[in-house]
């Protein structure tokens, strides 16, 4: 893992965003403060971005804001999205924009079934794996075009772009992570090499090349469709999964579901060279159906904040947050509590 060890002051760009984003981000900030004590100070800059801003003045993000954010150590994001804004505008104009502008090539999404949290699976077993999703290439690269729209001869193309460089940084990250986790030490590559023949060959080739450098880590390959089966029939078989942008998007939603849902699923969008800031965010969206009610579960955002600490080498404080959330979930996840109450209960355990 790339870590800028022991930075004493962290400049954090905060995008609370929309809906419950604004309710859960302050809880994560309070937990961060409690977890690190005096060892780190956080210098927060809030950015007014998201649906409200877009509806007010048409701004998604300005070049000046991007430049300004680029100077920060990391970004903490709540969620964006609003039923009043057409789907895709904020996702592409803000989220994908940040991921691409800051070359956040690694989308890291852990899935862990906490004791006390109910999985929809009858016999879930011991689920604890991480998906490493390549974040800047594949079908999400934006290469393609739309011609003759509105006529019978309309054509749409969407090109899957895969580079050895891009694949290798994801695969290498996965092997490093499997080694660092020290569990099964196993990497599973997920793709569709039987039909996505050219991209698939390149992914497999890079896997074998990098795999040779990690004799202590085993690896294998699964087709994406088979992976969706094993995620519900035998999820405990997985340790680290590495995959491309599209498959990663899909299987991490499924993974979030099998570990009891969205309230506990955290993620990091990592710039592996630390040239630009990495971004930490819960997997869920802005939950307009419960926004403003003060009942959103802040745990996923709190766990994302723990990933932020880990990124900067504060493994011990990050692990403490993880344990506090785990213990809180074990005791309380079936009770109805307010967002603030959950935050206080987590803090009380630190």
Q: Out of 128, 249, 322, 328, pick the active-site residue.
A: 249
Is residue 219 among the annotated active site residues?
no
- Which element (helix H / strand E) includes 107? strand 106-112
Residue 201: how many other CB atoms lie within 10 Å: 13
Binding at 246: pick from Mg ion, ligand NAI, none (beta carbon under 5-8 Å per type): none
**CB-CB contact of 142 with 250 (8 Å):** no
Q: Out of 47, 140, 214, 314, pick the active-site residue.
A: 140
CA distances (Å), 4 to each of 76, 84, 166, 175, 314, in order? 17, 40, 22, 20, 10
Is residue 103 among the annotated active site residues?
no
Helix (H, G, I), strand (E, B) or coil at 215: coil
Binding at 80: pick from ligand NAI, Mg ion, none (beta carbon under 5-8 Å per type): ligand NAI
From the CB of 17, what's the least distance to ligand NAI, in Å? 6
DSSP line for 221-270: EEEHHHHHHHHHH-GGG-SEEEE-HHHHHHHHHHHHHHTT-GGG-EEEEE
Residue 61 is a binding residue for ligand NAI (CB under 6 A)? no
Whichever of 180 and 293 has its CB closer to ligand NAI, that residue is 293
Among 108, 167, 206, 296, binds ligand NAI (CB under 6 A): 296
Binding at 284: pick from ligand NAI, Mg ion, none (beta carbon under 5-8 Å per type): ligand NAI
Q: Residue count at the site for ligand NAI (CB under 6 A)?
A: 21
Residue 152 is a binding residue for ligand NAI (CB under 6 A)? no
Using CA atoms, how far apart are residues 310 and 1, in angstroms rounded to an integer?
9
The whole-angstrom distance between residue 32's C-alpha and the CA centroid of its chain comes to 18
CA dihedral 341, 342, 343, 346 (to 10 degrees): 120
Q: Which bin fits 141, alpha (ψ -120 to 50), beta or left (φ > 0)?
A: alpha
Cα angle 206, 315, 184; round to 5: 45
Is residue 239 among the annotated active site residues?
no
From the CB of 250, what's the least distance to Mg ion, in Å? 7
From 36-44, 92-100, 248-256, 328-336, span contacting Mg ion (CB under 5 A)? 248-256
Whichever of 239 and 249 has its CB closer to ligand NAI, that residue is 249
CA distances (Å), 336 to each of 101, 295, 296, 297, in order? 40, 8, 10, 10
CA distances (Å), 127 to each of 41, 215, 266, in order? 34, 25, 15
Which DSSP letter does residue 108 get?
Answer: E
98 CB-contact burial (10 Å; exposed 0-12 / middle 13-18 / buried 19+): buried
Residue 343 is a binding residue for ligand NAI (CB under 6 A)? no
Binding at 172: pick from ligand NAI, Mg ion, none (beta carbon under 5-8 Å per type): none
Whichever of 24 and 95 has its CB closer to Mg ion, that residue is 95
Is residue 345 among the annotated active site residues?
no
Residue 25 is a binding residue for ligand NAI (CB under 6 A)? no
Residues 271-290 that bind ligand NAI (CB under 6 A): 281, 284-290
Binding mask 84-103 for ligand NAI (x = CB under 6 A): ---x---x---x--------
Residue 268 is a binding residue for ligand NAI (CB under 6 A)? no
Q: What are phi and psi of 178, to 5 degrees?
A: -60, -40
Residue 249 is a binding residue for Mg ion (CB under 5 A)? yes
Residue 116 is a binding residue for ligand NAI (CB under 6 A)? no
Residue numbers at the binding site for ligand NAI (CB under 6 A): 20, 79-82, 87, 91, 95, 262-263, 281, 284-290, 296-297, 300
**Catalytic annotation, residues:** 140, 192, 225, 249, 253
Residue numbers at the binding site for Mg ion (CB under 5 A): 249
């Amino acid at each position: 893992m790339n870590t800028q060890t022991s930075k004493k002051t962290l400049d954090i760009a905060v995008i609370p965003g929309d809906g419950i984003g604004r309710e859960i981000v302050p809880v994560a900030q309070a937990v961060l403060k409690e977890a690190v004590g005096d060892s780190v100070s956080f210098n927060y800059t809030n950015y007014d971005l998201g649906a409200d801003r877009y509806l007010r003045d048409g701004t998604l993000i300005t070049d000046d804001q991007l430049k300004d954010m680029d100077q920060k150590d990391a970004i903490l994001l709540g969620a964006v999205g609003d039923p009043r804004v057409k789907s895709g505008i904020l996702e592409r104009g803000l989220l994908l924009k940040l991921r691409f502008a800051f070359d956040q090539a690694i989308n890291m999404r852990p899935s862990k079934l906490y004791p006390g949290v109910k999985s929809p699976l009858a016999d879930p077993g011991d689920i604890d794996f991480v998906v490493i999703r390549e974040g800047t290439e594949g079908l999400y690269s934006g290469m393609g075009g739309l011609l003759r729209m509105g006529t019978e001869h309309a054509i749409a193309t969407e090109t899957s772009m895969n580079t050895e460089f891009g694949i290798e940084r994801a695969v290498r990250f996965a092997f490093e992570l499997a080694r660092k986790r020290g569990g099964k030490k196993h990497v599973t590559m997920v793709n569709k090499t039987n039909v996505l023949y050219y991209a698939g060959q390149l992914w497999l080739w890079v896997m074998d090349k990098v795999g040779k450098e990690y004799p202590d880590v085993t690896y294998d390959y699964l087709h994406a469709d088979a992976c969706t089966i094993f995620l519900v029939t035998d999820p405990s078989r997985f340790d680290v999964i590495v995959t491309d942008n599209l498959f990663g998007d899909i299987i991490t939603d499924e993974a979030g579901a099998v570990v009891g849902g969205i309230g506990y699923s955290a993620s990091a969008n990592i710039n592996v060279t630390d040239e630009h800031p990495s971004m930490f965010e819960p997997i869920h969206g802005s939950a307009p159906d419960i926004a403003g009610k003060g009942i959103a579960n802040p745990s996923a955002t709190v766990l994302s904040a723990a990933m932020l600490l880990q990124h900067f080498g504060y493994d011990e404080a990050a692990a403490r947050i993880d344990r506090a959330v785990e213990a809180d979930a074990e005791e309380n996840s079936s009770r109805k509590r307010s967002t603030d109450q959950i935050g206080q209960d987590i803090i009380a355990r630190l």
